[in-house]
Amino acid sequence: MPGEPLAVEEEALPLQGAYIDEKGLVRSQVFGLKVFDRYKKQVYVRQVKNIELIKPGTIVEAYVEAVTDELAFLKIYSVEGQRVEASGIIHVSQASNEFTQSLLGAIRPGDFVKAKVLNNSIPYQLTIKEPGLGVIEAYCSVCGSPLYKSNDKLVCNTCGNIEKRKTSLNYIHVSR
Ligand SMILES: [Zn+2]
């Protein structure tokens, strides 16, 4: 996973897909498999692509990187439990069955979503319209705490902020 610690500076030199942070830890830059050569004292990350798994109708998990009124830009990271790395986009017309004026009323940067693939090429076009699809995990835009689903809304238990998303039935944090 990007950011995951792989080694300490003294153990191994980071090659492709790895870097040294300010504390001297070697961390991964990409999704992939860690390759640690103890004899050569080198560590690198072999990128995992697996994009052949992505087809129209495939359900993927993706991280929202940026959102405008009309388009959201995502990084697809998982297909059926397999690590992948591919770009996805969601058009405002694919966010909800209700009329959505801006995509920002449905998804926001930093959200994790479950989505269905509509096409066969990069960037993959995704839809989150169906009840099982949509945001599965989101964090408060004020304080960064997890947002909890309560009826139609997402509520921050830390600062009381209330936000709106097109959530999936599989949303992770549910208010008790
Ligand atoms: Zn908050």
* Domain CATH for 114: 2.40.50.140
- With tokens 């993927």, the residue in question is 60
Same domain for 130 and 63? yes
Q: Give me the mean pLDDT over the 133-155 stretch.
A: 94
pTM summary value: 0.71
164 C-alpha to ligand 1 centroid (Å): 13
157 C-alpha to ligand 1 centroid (Å): 7
Q: What is the pLDDT of residue 59?
A: 96
Within a domain: 130: yes
Q: What is the pLDDT of residue 84?
A: 86
Percent of the chain with pLDDT over 90: 70
Q: Give me the mean pLDDT over the 143-168 stretch.
A: 94
Strand ranges in 101-151 using DSSP code E only, listed in sequence order: 112-117, 124-127, 134-137, 147-150
Tokens for 64, please give them.
């929202």
Same domain for 78 and 42? no
Structural domain of residue 21, as residue ranges?
A: 5-47
Within a domain: 113: yes
pLDDT at 149 over 80: yes
139 C-alpha to ligand 1 centroid (Å): 8
| Contact (CB, 8 A) for 82 and 58 | no
The number of distinct structural domains making up the chain is 2
Same domain for 119 and 68? yes
Return binding residues. 140, 143, 156, 159
